[in-house]
């Protein structure tokens, strides 16, 4: 079981509405199926998802195409930042925490916040005298 944000469920509901209009998809029990490209109603393969992301990246005017795996890395970083490595490990489904570390990329903002927090709490040590 993987927890999902409410908006993800809402978007999946919209997808299911669209899916109901595709007769060949009715008998497929996969989460994602081809609705607009052959073979209609068949499970969507990773290569097709990558093509779809490339197309959407071009339509959005991005300099670099976004891939599904990039989203996994972003999710891993966000999960670790907001819930900790153990939460990221559980949601990503990793048996070992070392597998999770590959998906964690600290942002420049988080790094700056950590340094600022450390600087704000660190007390200089005085030598040769009492405080």
Dump pLDDT digits (tens) for 57-96. 999 999 999 999 999 999 999 999 899 999 999 999 999 9
Give the long-range contacts of residues 21-30, CB within 8 A, separation 24 or more: none
**108 lies in which domain range?**
65-121
In a domain, 22, yes or no: no
In a domain, 128, yes or no: no
Dump pLDDT digits (tens) for 34-64. 998 889 999 999 999 999 999 999 999 999 9
Nearest to 42 by CA among 30, 55, 53: 30
**Number of domains the chain is built from:** 1
In a domain, 110, yes or no: yes
In a domain, 97, yes or no: yes
The Cα–Cα gap between 60 and 66 comes to 10
In a domain, 73, yes or no: yes
In a domain, 71, yes or no: yes
What's the burial of 126, exposed, middle or buried (CB within 10 Å: 0-12/13-18/19+)? exposed
């Amino acid at each position: 079981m993987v927890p999902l944000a409410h908006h993800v469920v809402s978007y999946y509901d919209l997808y299911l509405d669209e899916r109901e209009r595709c007769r060949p998809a009715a008998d497929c029990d996969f989460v994602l199926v081809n609705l607009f490209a052959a073979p209609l109603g068949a499970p969507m393969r990773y290569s097709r998802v990558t093509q779809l992301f490339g197309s959407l990246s071009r339509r959005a005017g991005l300099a670099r195409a976004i891939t599904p795996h990039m989203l996994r890395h972003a999710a891993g970083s966000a999960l670790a930042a907001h819930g900790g490595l153990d939460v990221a490990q559980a949601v990503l489904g990793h048996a070992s925490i070392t597998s999770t570390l590959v998906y964690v990329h600290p942002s420049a903002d988080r790094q700056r916040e950590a340094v600022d927090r450390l600087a704000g709490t660190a007390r200089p040590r005085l030598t040769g005298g009492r405080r």
